[in-house]
Every structure is written in structure tokens, then in C-alpha cells.
A and B are shown apart, each in its own frame.
Chain A
Amino acid sequence: MGRHTRKLISGVILMALAGAGAAWWLTKPRAWDAAHWEGLGEPDLANGEQVFWAGGCASCHAAPGAPDDQRLVLAGGRALKSPFGTFHAPNISPDETAGIGDWTLAEFGNAITRGVGKDGEHLYPSFPYGSYARLTAKDVNDLWGYLQTLPKSANVAPPHDLSFPYNIRLALGGWKLLFLTDEPRVAVNNADAKLARGQYLVEGLGHCGECHTPRNTLGGFEPGMWLAGAPNPEGQGRIPDITPASKSIGSWSASDIASYLETGFTPDFDTVGGLMVEVQKNMARLPPSDREAIAAYLKALPAR
């Protein structure tokens, strides 16, 4: 082997290492600086409960088919079907071994807003941290306080059942690099407190876009299609468009939307159905001003 060849080979190896290093650095899990979770004080449990319902935690983390009085036992186990495989929601009850009872606020906060697990690993975006990224540190602190007041469960939920290559957690760093953002999804008039609240609830806590926005093959949102409707991840049918162009709700007034979220009845007395039944039950627990804010925001969206 000549001197030049050897030099060339070591050059290539060096470049490959540098590339791998850059890729590692670009895609490594990124928690918040510790200071982000400090000085938040005692949690406001009443607000924590509102955050809990607005965030829909029980819809995935209560046992599937749990009766109404068991919905606060966050035992996990719900299966979420997707083109990448089946995700299983984990136990997030305060149980120290089966649940997240031994986590700190910072660990919980980094999981919910940055998709970083207790051991610093990437979490799958089936846990909608891509939406929760918008949560204020105060809301996270209040929610964390509230979760600790809930019953413990020793249930161990099954692990995710994903096909190759989606079962490689490291690759999620690439997904985050491409798609994880806490920027607004659309521009609305933020000077209007009601619209700003609606935006926080729809784009953040309520994570409406996770089902109502279509995704590309890598699982990122299609640009310019915010809340424009998408295939039903569970198979047949569609998750409807909820922008003003919607065939289902485009003709509804803001108060029709707020009333639907409260009672489950559409203006022509059909009712809520499918996966939205769970969501509507949660929305019914919010103060009326929050449902009105959601309605105002939806009416202010660009029609798609």
C-alpha cells in the first residue's frame, strides 16, 4: 500500500468519524438546562388538574376501557396503532417501580417537553411532546404536582412493538432535528388573549394536531396542512379537517364548536364519535372560557 493510499484511507476514516460525531451531536437528546425547572415553587394543584384534562393524559394512560371512576389510575396499556408499529402507553402513576414515582420534576419536564427519558434516552413521539414542547414550566410543575396525588398502580405495560428501523431509538434524534419545534404552527393575532389561549390549548396541551394534521412518511407534519384532516391511524375512515374549510365543521359557529366540546352534540344533533369521544369527555371538564378560546382559534385558522 503506497503512502498516498494510506493517507487517503486515514483521511476518509477521519472524515467519517467527524461526520458521525457531528451526527451524534446534532441528534443527541436535549434536556433543558437545570435552571428551567428551578424556582417554580409549590405546584398549584387545581391548575394541575386543569392541565391534566386539557392534556388528555388519561385518554392514553388510563387502562383501556377503564370505567369513569378508574380514569385517574394511570396504569398504562393503551395500544396506539401507527404505520411504524404499535406503541403502548406506559404506566405514569406515582408507583415508584412500575410508574414514575421516583422521577424528579426536571426528569418529568424534560420527558414531556423534550422527549427525553429518565435515563437521557429519546422517547418516541407517539408521546406527543412535539405538541407539549409549548407548555410553560409553570403548567408542567402544576401537572407534576397533581399527578403525584393520583393512585398508584403496579401494572407493567408491554413494550412498544415496532418494526425495523423504527425500533432504533437513536434514529429519533434525526426525527427531532427535522420536526421537533416549539414555534407556533400558524400565525394568529397573539395580542388577542383569547386567541393566544386557544393557540396554547390546541397547538400545545390539547395536541389536536397529532391526529388532525396529515403526516409525511417520516412521521412529521405535512407543511401547510395544519389541522387539515388525516387518515385514521386506527384504520378505516378519516380524522376530519377542523379548519374553516372543513366539510364537517366549517359551517359551525364558534359557539357551536364550544358547545360540541362541552356536550358532544353537533349543531344538527349528531354526536361525537370515534377517538374524539375520549377527547370530548376531557374538554367537557375545562372551564367554558377555555372551550371558547379553542373555538375562536379554530375559526381564526387558515382554511385548508
Chain B
Amino acid sequence: MKMRVLVLAAVIAGVGVTAVTAAGEPQAVRQQLMKKVGEAAGALNGIAKGQKPYDAEIVKASLSTISETVKIFPNHFPPGSETGMETEASPKIWQNMEDFKAKAAKLGGDAEKILAELPADQAGVGAALGILGKDCASCHESYRLKND
């Protein structure tokens, strides 16, 4: 019994250590960045679908988050980070790094453009989300893999 507790403690400690080291790894960083983009898109979607009232500040903040995040996103794919930590990055990223960066820049550019014009109502947010969603999907089409 005591042995089992000890083993369990060791396992938990081990998991904790891995989590700490993992947080700074490029795979973990880029997963966090994508999560931020997803949350911003989610906020826009709430407005587009009428689940949340239109709020110019939230629209502004979400669009800024998207454009700023994807600007640095492609910097987190150094050699050696192709696998591990359940990465969904396709090896094609490293074969076509320029195209990969161009696709990220396209999303960033579109988000900035929309931010400058600022959608004024629910329908405008919906249209904006349509454009951004296409950018996301066109990159995920070539460069994101599913593992389960």
C-alpha cells in the first residue's frame, strides 16, 4: 500500500515537472496562441449569432487579438519542434515555410483591415467572421493534422 502511494506521488510529481517544462516549448506556445485566436473568434461569433449584444469594444479587442497573435504565430515553428506534445502541425509547414507564413499574414492583414473599418452591427460581425474563418480554414487545410 505504502509502495503504491509512493509510486503515485512520484507519478504526480513527474507530471508536474513535465507540465512546467512543456509550457515554454514551442509546441505548447503555439497551441496557446491558437487558443487565443479561437477565443477571440468565439467572442465574435457570440455577437454574430445574436447570443451576445453588439459591443464595439469587444469587436475591437477580438480583432486586435487575432491580428497580433497571428503575427507572431509562425515564429514558433523552429527546427526540432516538428513532433511531440500532441502537436497537430503538419510536416508540410517546414517544407513550405514561406507559404505557411503568407497564410498567417493573410489572416492578420484581413483582421487589421476589418478592424480599421470596424463592423458596426451584428450582420457586419457575421460577414467579418466569414472572411476570417475562410483564412483559418485555408491554412488548416494544408498545415494542420488531426490525430484522433
Interface of A with B (CB < 8 Å)?
A: 229, 232, 236-241, 247-248, 263-265, 268-275, 277-278, 280
Contacts and interface: CB of A to CB of B under 8 A. Distances in A.
A152 B74 CA distance: 41
A248 B38 contact: no
B137 A240 contact: no
B33 interface: no
Given A236-B91, A265-B41, A271-B133, A277 B138 contact: yes
A273 B133 contact: no
Contacts of A248: 146, 148
A265 B148 contact: no
A228 to B, nearest CB: 11
Nearest to A240: B146
B75 interface: no
14 contacts: A232-B145, A237-B90, A237-B145, A238-B145, A238-B148, A240-B146, A248-B148, A264-B133, A269-B41, A271-B136, A273-B140, A273-B144, A277-B138, A280-B137
Interface residues of B, number: 24
Interface of chain B: mostly helix, strand, loop or mixed: helix
Q: Name, among B42, B134, B136, the residue most crowded by chain A CB atoms within 10 Å (CB to CB).
A: B136
Given A272-B140, A278-B141, 6 more contacts: A232-B145, A236-B90, A239-B146, A240-B146, A269-B37, A274-B146
* Interchain residue pairs A-B with the least CB separation, the first 9: A273-B140, A237-B145, A277-B141, A269-B38, A273-B144, A269-B42, A271-B136, A269-B41, A247-B148
A227 to B, nearest CB: 14
B51 interface: no
B95 interface: no
A271 B148 contact: no
A274 B140 contact: yes
B147 A238 contact: yes
A269 B137 CA distance: 11
Interface in B111-141: 129-130, 133-134, 136-138, 140-141
A236 B82 CA distance: 12
B139 to A, nearest CB: 8
Contacts of A270: 34, 38
B98 interface: no
A249 to B, nearest CB: 11
Contacts of A280: 137
B45 interface: yes
B55 interface: no
Q: Name, among A229, A264, A277, the residue most crowded by chain B CB atoms within 10 Å (CB to CB).
A: A277
Contacts of A265: 41, 45, 133
B68 interface: no
Nearest to B145: A237
Contacts of B42: 268-269
A237 B141 contact: no
A237 B146 contact: yes
